[in-house]
Amino acid sequence: MPIKIDLHTHTKYSDGFYTPQELLQIIQQQQIYAFAITDHDTTDAIPYAQQIGNELGIEVVPGVELSSLDGDLDLHILGYFIDIENKKFKEYLQLFKTERLKRAEKIIAKLNSLGISISLDDVLNLSQSAVVGRPHIAEALVKMGAVNNFQGAFQKLIGNTSPAYEKKYHISPEQAIRIIHQAGGLAVIAHPGLLSEGTINNLIKVGVDGFEAYHPSHSVQQIKYYEGIASNYFLYATGGSDFHGGTRSDASSLGRYYTPLGTFESMKRKASEINLVNL
């Protein structure tokens, strides 16, 4: 049996379904050795999760998932082994939280103009923290009966080509990587799919540490491609389930997509070296 290390999960503190404690119980059931909580633009779940993880003998890697924009391409960048108390990093996260809330208010205004009586409180009641995203709005729309299901909310109302869509605040990939590095972390491109060669080369030039090769959305060919990129450029090929739970129907991904132990140990060593330099 391989040692399973899942470096991509979400909790209720961003757009996941479960609390940190509930997620850890599922992780324990799946016999996962270590995992990273990579909530969008927040690390609020990590201290509590690490406390429970220590009691259960499960390593909880402090992580985050930042959104960036490269032209018209939406790139998500995972940060691992971050110092969550880093002052500059916390300032950036506060900015992202504020911008997410502004976006939610604009989407809600558009939904109201379409005759849907939804309020910000309806959405905030479904969010564990102030980090609000479209999934929370979708959940609220389902709860109030405006749509039949989570997918329908995106398809009919808040998806990228739908009437209540609002563009979100973005930074460049280079900025996201720099934010993660300044906080002592490693930066990895989440679910890279079919990135162009030019985009990959640019990400390598600006200092990315790896690519998430093992992901539920990737074909065997894509996995091999990013394994090759990582090998050729001395980068990390990581893996994770991108688990959210709830209506996402992604439970089968847990324990199937993971980071090899040797890669994980190497990442820990490199992160330790970065933190020593930052001291």
Indicate the average pLDDT of the chain: 92
- Are the beta carbons of 241 and 248 closer than 8 angstroms? no
Instruction: Give a yes or no: residue 165 inside a domain.
Output: no
3-class DSSP assignment, residue 165 = coil
Query: How wide is the angle at C-alpha 76 spanned by C-alphas 155 and 146, nearest 5°?
Result: 20
Among residues 158, 182, 213, which one ends one of the domains? 158
Whether residues 138 and 183 share a domain: the answer is no
Q: Tens of pLDDT along 1-51?
A: 789 999 999 998 988 889 999 999 999 999 999 999 999 999 999 999 999
Instruction: Give a yes or no: residue 166 inside a domain.
Output: no
Whether residues 66 and 128 share a domain: the answer is no
Whether residues 196 and 272 share a domain: the answer is yes
Q: Tens of pLDDT along 56-115?
A: 999 999 999 999 999 888 999 999 999 999 999 999 999 999 998 999 999 999 999 999
Q: Which residues pair with 6 in a beta bridge?
A: 35
Beta strands 210-214 and 186-189 are: parallel
Give me 76's structure tokens. Answer: 């998500």
- Residue 32: phi, psi to the nearest 5? -90, 125
- Are the beta carbons of 133 and 40 closer than 8 angstroms? yes
Whether residues 210 and 241 share a domain: the answer is yes
